[in-house]
Structure 1
Amino acid sequence: MKELVNYILQFGNLNQQQMDLILTKAKEKEIKKEEYFSEAGKIAAEVGFIVDGIMRVCYYNNKGEEITKYFIDENNLVVELESFDNNICSSAYVQAVTDCKIIVFSKAEWQELLDTIVGWDTIVHKIISKALIQKVARRSPLVSEDATTRYLSFMEMFPKVINRVPLSYLASYLGITQSSLSRIRKNIR
């Protein structure tokens, strides 16, 4: 749980009593590769913090093709935020790409932290803002770059992820076919 404490303290100061309360609400959980943390058509019920492993957010387009929106690796929160905050059905899946060890908070526990800890809402807001900025920064270049440049950019931005995700997920994220990705990887080596 040390990773979670260090992560939270990047966004604000909490005293020992507040940290202890947070840790009493946290539960460790393992999610096996390919299992879902949350699913489309259901209301997201938990906020998670990834201690070990990689998850991805994905959806199915109108042709029934699976599209990977982004990856979430260690030391990041994972939640289908709109669904969780607004009690509405999610439009995306959050799936474990590798076996994952995460720390989770139920909706009730999360709300209790918001109601009890002064400044927790500010910390949560900073965490969400940082995640949104990162998401935009990671996706924006993908729109205008050619496939090889997108792959090279991904390698640079996600050095710990590149060799741990299946090529099909990576190709989907980059917006190219798996055969194009294989050709690009072969040409780079």
Structure 2
Amino acid sequence: MKELFDFILRFGNLNPQQIDFIAGKSITLELKKDEYFSEAGKIARQVGFIVDGILRVCYYNNQGEEITKYFIEENNLVVDLESFNNEICSSAYVQAVTDCKMIVFQRKDWLELLQTIIGWDTIVNKITTRALMQKVERRSPLVSEDATTRYLKFLEIYPTVVNRIPLSYIASYLGVTQSSLSRIRKNIR
């Protein structure tokens, strides 16, 4: 729980009663590797904070190929925001890449926090803005670069992730085949 509040308090202030109230609305969730936090075709009904582990956001294209959009590691919130806020079916999967330990808020409890805690909406907006900016910063350079440069950029963006997840997910994220990624890695060493 300490990790969650260390994270939240970077974006605003809370008093001890508010911290206790937030803690009381949370539950601990353990996801095994390959389990889903939220799924395409279903409405996202929870917000999570990753204490330990890595999740990935992925979808299937028209050819049925699995595409990894991005990874979310420890000390970050995770939610399919559009699905959660608008109560519409998600178009993506949020899947555990490793075993994960999370602190989770169900939708009704999250909404109660927004209605009860003065300034909570401001904190949430700051966190959301930061996450969206990170997402753009992480994806933008990958669009126009060659595969080797994309991989080197990946290592910069996700320095703690590369040795903890399957190469197939990294290849999917970079838009290359697994054999191409293996060649790139061999040439870099």
Query: Do they superpose with TM above 0.5?
Result: yes
| Identity rate, percent | 76
- 1:68 is paired with a residue whose SS is strand
Could you tell me which residue of structure 2 aligns to residue 94 of structure 1?
A: 94
Partner of 1:25: 25
Structure-1 separation of matches of 2:82 and 2:156 = 29
Q: CA RMSD in A?
A: 0.4
CA–CA separation in structure 2 for the residues paired with 1:38 and 1:165:
19
Match of 1:50 in 2: 50
Moved over 6 A (4+): none
Per the alignment, residue 74 of structure 1 pairs with 74
Indicate the SS of the match to 2:150.
helix
TM-score after normalising by structure 1: 0.99
List gaps (5 residues or longer) in structure 1. none
Pairwise CA distance, 1:109: 0.3
Counterpart Cα distance in 2 of 1:104 and 1:145:
37
Cα offset, 1:96, TM superposition: 0.0
CA distance in 1, matches of 2:124, 2:39: 23
How do 1:1-189 residues align onto structure 2 when only pairs under 5 Å count? 1-189=1-189
The number of residues matched between the two structures is 189
1:144 CA displacement: 1.0
Give, in whole Å, the separation in 2 of the partners of 1:134 and 1:108.
27
Query: Which 5+ residue runs of structure 2 have no aligned equivalent?
Result: none
Deviations 1:119-138 (A, max 9, x none): 00000000000000000000
1:11-60 CA-to-partner distances (Å, cap 9, x unmatched) read 00111111110000011110000000000000001000000000000000
Q: Distance in 2 between matches of 1:78 and 1:101?
A: 12
What amino acid maps onto 2:123 in structure 1? I
- State the one-letter code of the partner of 1:15: N
Output the CA distance in 1 between the equivalents of 2:157 and 2:89: 31
Which residue type is aligned with residue 123 of structure 1? I
Instruction: Give the Cα separation in 1 of the matches to 2:26 and 2:107.
Output: 11
**Aligned letter for 1:23?**
A
- Cα distance in 2, alignment partners of residues 26 and 4 from structure 1: 11
CA distance in 2, matches of 1:156, 1:44: 30
Residue 18 of structure 2 aligns to which amino acid in structure 1? Q
